[in-house]
Structure formats: structure tokens, C-alpha cells
């Protein structure tokens, strides 16, 4: 295979953003199709170099082919829909059924999330694993809150070390996910502003108290329904084929959920906090594609 053909196929491979389980088969079929086309052209009297040039002209742009492949193979099965929506359903049930105040149920859900996320991450990173990855941030978030209760002399140092380690871990996961598909990175980060928003609605000062506990009992059904809404969002996301529809869905779902939080926060989430949550939401949608472009440019250089 010539260098031009190798670059052509590699460009399609990078832009199609296929699962590893599908990528080898699809790219092999595409390569076989190109070889058949080259044979037809060389049999017609063209040289190998002329045949390659004519074949690439007839095939069209790599972006167009990659988009067609993506739309043909990106739609997940109903099994993938269930697997992708399951973490949101589990957290939703914790609050809808008022199981959140039982440590055993919370522990079971968190362990299930961490084990499933580790399994999927180490077995090819299928598309359904990324909603699970988002909830691995929950233990990190909880550890950060516990630092507030340390003695003043230790809290600053502990918070600094914690922030460095947490940011390094988060950046590593985001970079690895962006290399797979930046849209999955946004999908992974989608619950983050929702969790922060509900926490601010429950405890604007950041300290968990008896009053916070009473508020949690009050808001529990709405918190559960917001996670159920995320589950529905993920289900639709997995079944959609067009990327622009997927991006629109994530943006609209996040915005509607934040509006729900503000509506039921009884003034605890003010305008400034809402703008901050919007910044986190849009950051989760805009930073991954910018990071992907930067990574591609660095590889080209």
C-alpha cells in the first residue's frame, strides 16, 4: 500500500471514532474495497500511481467518508442503551426510593460504579462505559468535602495536595477519553454540574449540617428525577446517529436540569452560582473538542 493510501485510511480511522471492536473489521472492509477499485483501474491500463490518484478522487474526502461511517455504525444497541443509562438509574433510585440515607446502599452503588468503570476502562473503553466514568468523580468530590472538617492548620496543605492529585487524575482521564472521542468526554462530565448544583441547593455555605439533611429529605424526589432525566438523555444519545444532534441533546439536557435545580433551590442557588454552573456545563462541552484539536496538532508537528 502506498503512503498516500495509508494516510488516507489513517485519516478516516481517526475521524470515524469507532469502537475498537468495530474498527478493525470496518477498516479492513474499506481497505479491501479500495484494493478492488485499484485492481479495476490498473486492469484498465492505468499505472499504480495513476490508479491511486484516481481512486482517491473517486472515493472523495476523508471527512465525508468518516461521517458516513460514523452515522452508519455509531448507533448503539438497546443493550448498550441499558448499560450506559444504568449508573444514572442507580443514583436516581437511591433518591427516589429514599435509600440515600442507608450507608449500605450507597456503598453498593459506589462499588458497582467503580468496578464497572474499571472493567470497561481496561477492556477497550466501549461507548457505554463513559457515563460510569463520570460517577468515579463522586468519591473524589466527597474526599474534597471532608477536607473542610480538618483542623485549620492542616486543611490548607491537605487541600493543596488533594487539588493537585485530583486535577492530575481528572486531566489524565479526560485526555485519554478525548483520544477516543471528545464527545464521550463531555458525556462523562455531564453529571458534574448537576451534582455540584444540588449540593449548593442543599448547602450554600458548603458545610453539611442537620439543616442540610432536612433539605435533602425535601429535595430527594427531585434529585432522583434529575438523575432519571440524565438516564433518558443517555438512552437517546446512544440511539442517535448524527453528532450535532448528540451535542445539542447534551447541552439542552444539562441546561434544563440546572434550571430545575435553581427552581427548587428556594433561592440557595443565586444568579452568580447559576452562571458558575453554566460555566462548568459549557466547559464540559467546549473544552474536550478544543483539547482534541490541540492533541491532533501536536501529533502532526
pLDDT digits (tens, 9 = 90+) for 128-142: 999 998 888 777 767
Residue 147 has pLDDT above 70, yes or no: no
Least confident piece of the model among 13-22, 213-222, 250-259, 273-282: 13-22
Determine how many CB atoms are found less than 10 A away from the CB of residue 83.
21
Residue 160 has pLDDT above 90, yes or no: no
Residue 232 has pLDDT above 60, yes or no: yes
pLDDT value, residue 20: 74
- pLDDT, average across residues 33-62: 86
pLDDT value, residue 170: 79
Residue 211 has pLDDT above 80, yes or no: no
**pLDDT tens for each residue of 235-267:** 999 999 899 999 999 999 999 999 988 888 877
Residue, of 9 and 206, whose pLDDT is higher: 9
pLDDT band at 159 (very low <50, low <70, confident <90, very high): low
Residues 6 or more apart whose CB falls under 8 angstroms from that of 243 comprise: 70, 74, 183
User: Is 86 in contact with 232 (CB distance < 8 Å)?
Assistant: no
Residue, of 4 and 151, whose pLDDT is higher: 4
Residue, of 75 and 170, whose pLDDT is higher: 75
Residue, of 267 and 156, whose pLDDT is higher: 267
Q: What is this structure's pTM?
A: 0.84
Backbone φ and ψ of 241, nearest 5°: -105, -40
Residue 192 has pLDDT above 90, yes or no: no
- pLDDT, average across residues 55-82: 88
pLDDT band at 301 (very low <50, low <70, confident <90, very high): low
What is the residue-averaged pLDDT of the chain?
Answer: 84
pLDDT value, residue 204: 75
pLDDT band at 72 (very low <50, low <70, confident <90, very high): confident
Residue 214 has pLDDT above 60, yes or no: yes
User: Is 12 in contact with 62 (CB distance < 8 Å)?
Assistant: yes
| Cα separation, 230 vs 131, whole angstroms | 10
Amino acid at each position: 500500500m502506498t503512503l498516500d493510501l495509508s494516510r488516507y485510511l489513517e485519516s478516516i480511522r481517526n475521524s470515524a471514532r469507532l469502537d475498537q471492536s468495530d474498527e478493525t473489521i470496518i477498516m479492513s472492509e474499506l481497505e479491501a474495497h479500495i484494493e478492488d477499485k485499484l485492481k479495476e483501474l490498473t486492469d484498465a491500463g492505468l499505472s499504480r500511481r495513476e490508479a491511486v490518484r484516481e481512486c482517491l478522487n473517486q472515493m472523495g474526502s476523508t471527512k465525508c467518508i468518516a461521517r458516513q461511517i460514523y452515522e452508519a455504525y455509531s448507533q448503539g444497541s438497546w443493550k448498550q442503551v441499558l448499560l450506559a443509562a444504568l449508573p444514572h438509574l442507580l443514583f436516581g433510585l437511591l433518591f427516589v426510593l429514599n435509600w440515600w440515607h442507608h450507608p449500605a446502599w450507597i456503598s453498593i452503588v459506589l462499588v458497582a460504579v467503580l468496578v464497572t468503570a474499571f472493567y470497561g476502562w481496561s477492556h477497550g473503553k466501549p461507548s457505554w462505559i463513559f457515563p460510569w466514568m463520570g460517577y468515579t468523580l463522586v468519591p473524589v468530590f466527597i474526599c474534597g468535602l471532608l477536607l473542610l472538617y480538618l483542623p485549620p492548620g492542616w486543611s490548607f496543605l491537605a487541600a493543596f495536595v488533594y487539588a493537585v492529585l485530583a486535577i492530575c487524575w481528572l486531566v489524565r482521564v479526560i485526555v485519554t477519553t478525548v483520544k477516543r472521542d471528545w464527545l464521550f468526554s463531555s458525556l462523562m462530565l455531564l453529571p458534574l454540574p448537576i451534582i455540584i448544583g444540588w449540593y449548593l441547593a442543599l448547602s450554600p455555605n458548603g458545610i453539611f449540617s442537620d439543616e442540610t439533611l432536612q433539605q435533602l429529605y425535601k429535595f430527594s424526589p427531585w434529585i432522583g428525577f434529575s438523575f432519571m432525566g440524565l438516564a433518558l438523555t443517555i438512552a437517546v444519545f446512544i440511539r442517535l446517529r448524527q453528532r450535532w444532534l448528540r451535542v445539542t441533546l447534551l447541552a439542552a439536557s444539562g441546561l434544563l436540569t440546572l434550571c430545575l435545580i435553581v427552581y427548587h433551590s428556594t433561592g440557595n442557588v443565586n444568579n452568580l452560582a447559576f452562571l458558575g454552573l453554566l460555566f462548568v456545563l459549557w466547559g464540559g462541552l467546549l473544552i474536550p473538542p478544543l483539547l482534541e484539536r490541540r492533541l491532533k496538532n501536536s501529533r502532526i508537528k
